[in-house]
Amino acid sequence: MKRKTERTDQKLAIRINKYLSEAGVCSRREADRMIEQGRITVDGKPAVAGQKVEEGQAIFVDGNPVNPTKERIVLAFNKPLGIVCTTSKKEKDNIIDYLDYPERIYPVGRLDKNSEGLILLTNDGELMDEILRARNYHEKEYEVTVNRPVTNVFLKKMSEGVPILDTVTRPCKVRRTGEKTFRIILTQGLNRQIRRMCEALDYRVRHLKRVRIMNITLGNLPVGKYRILGEKELKQLREGL
């Protein structure tokens, strides 16, 4: 009985990147980058990759103490053109300043400055990591307008995979919605993927809007506005991870 009590009283140590993720500071990958940059300290000493920490230790990020978040927040935001999906204050049009949300939140992934539409923001680093993992094949749907008529040949090539960035894109669903418009559902997130795919086929994107991430849809949410995800949406989102 004594041994059982001693084990129960021991504090549970976890990797610092997981701790920061669960505390709502950032994703694990971002935590690893911040550790490399020397931006994180534990009990006054620079943190190291793979380090384990316990509750009660003094953990600081950029000189600010880390206080584990109790309430998990997930927002759906209709990003306007010109807003950059970064937390860096060096970018004057960064998404965090634009939203001016009262709690610390982070964008889940990116949406090009010249694109608009749905992006999720959260203080839940674990959720962020799960959504961003490429191996999970999470669907993202876009409305696209291009500079010339959409042909059957174009649709076929887009759906089968296009060589860009030293790889071939995953097969995807594409359907024509108008003379120069189409909808596309991707399960990967290469840098400027849709624009690069179109350019490889001698098309140019004139307008691009993301309308869905997994089960979360943009709906009639006005440009520049956000909404807090409901319990049903969050449950479905987590079940899909």
Annotated catalytic sites, by residue?
Answer: 112
Residue 233, classified by CB atoms within 10 Å of its CB into exposed (0-12), middle (13-18) or buried (19+), is: middle
Residue 204 neighbours by CB under 8 Å, 6+ apart = 146, 147, 198
What secondary structure does DSSP assign to 144-195, as a single string?
Answer: EEESSPPPHHHHHHHHH--EETTEEPPP-EEEEEETTEEEEEES---TTHHH
Q: How many residues does the chain have?
A: 241
Residue type, 153: V
Task: End-to-end CA distance of the chain: give it in Å, rounded.
Answer: 40
